[in-house]
Amino acid sequence: MRAELYRAGDPGQVVAVAIWEGGQARLEVRAPDPSGLEGLLKPTPVLIDDPALRRRGTHGPTLLQPGDLEWFRAALLSRAPELGLAVRFVPEAAPGGWDPAGEYRTFRQQVELLVGSNAGRTTARA
């Protein structure tokens, strides 16, 4: 997965690109003054208030530990505004495209498969 970070008032000027690949996050700085960017992907837990991440019958924020795609997205979405930045997630072309025979997979399994294929790995599912 790829995310572009830009100044909130200037979406045409990309300051940095964050990439999630093979279970690792990395940041490519493209601006001459990268003040504060080093903390964006610091491997620390992120607190996010997203109902989709809660267990049934619970309420309040959820603590996401570093190391997965959900943490990567949450870290960028929660930390970038503090630096005056906005984030846009850029789709990357996945080999093969849509597979109607693969509709038996859950959404999460499909995302993992696509993210894994972008890293150059092949993942077999039974």
| Per-residue pLDDT of the chain in tens (126 residues, 90 and over written 9) | 899 999 888 888 899 999 998 889 999 998 877 678 888 999 999 999 988 888 888 889 999 999 899 999 999 999 999 999 999 999 876 565 667 777 788 888 877 877 765 544 443 443
Residues 65 and 9 in one domain: yes
- What is the structure's pLDDT at 34? 66
- What is the structure's pLDDT at 54? 85
Residues 52 and 87 in one domain: yes
| Bridge partners (DSSP) listed for residue 14 | 6
- What is the structure's pLDDT at 113? 77
Residues 100 and 74 in one domain: no
Residues 48 and 87 in one domain: yes
The DSSP symbol for 67 reads S
The C-alpha atoms of residue 58 and residue 56 are separated, in whole angstroms, by 6
Residues 123 and 83 in one domain: no
Residues 16 and 39 in one domain: yes
- What is the structure's pLDDT at 122? 40
- What is the structure's pLDDT at 98? 66
The C-alpha atoms of residue 51 and residue 43 are separated, in whole angstroms, by 23
The C-alpha atoms of residue 81 and residue 50 are separated, in whole angstroms, by 17
- What is the structure's pLDDT at 3? 95
Enclosing domain of residue 29: 2-92
Q: Look at the pTM and tell me if it is higher than 0.75.
A: no
Let me know: does 44 contact 55? Beta carbons within 8 Å. Answer: no
Number of compact structural domains in the chain: 2
Residues 17 and 35 in one domain: yes
Residues 71 and 104 in one domain: no
Residues 76 and 61 in one domain: yes
Q: What would the two tokens of residue 1 be?
A: 């997965």
The C-alpha atoms of residue 68 and residue 103 are separated, in whole angstroms, by 23
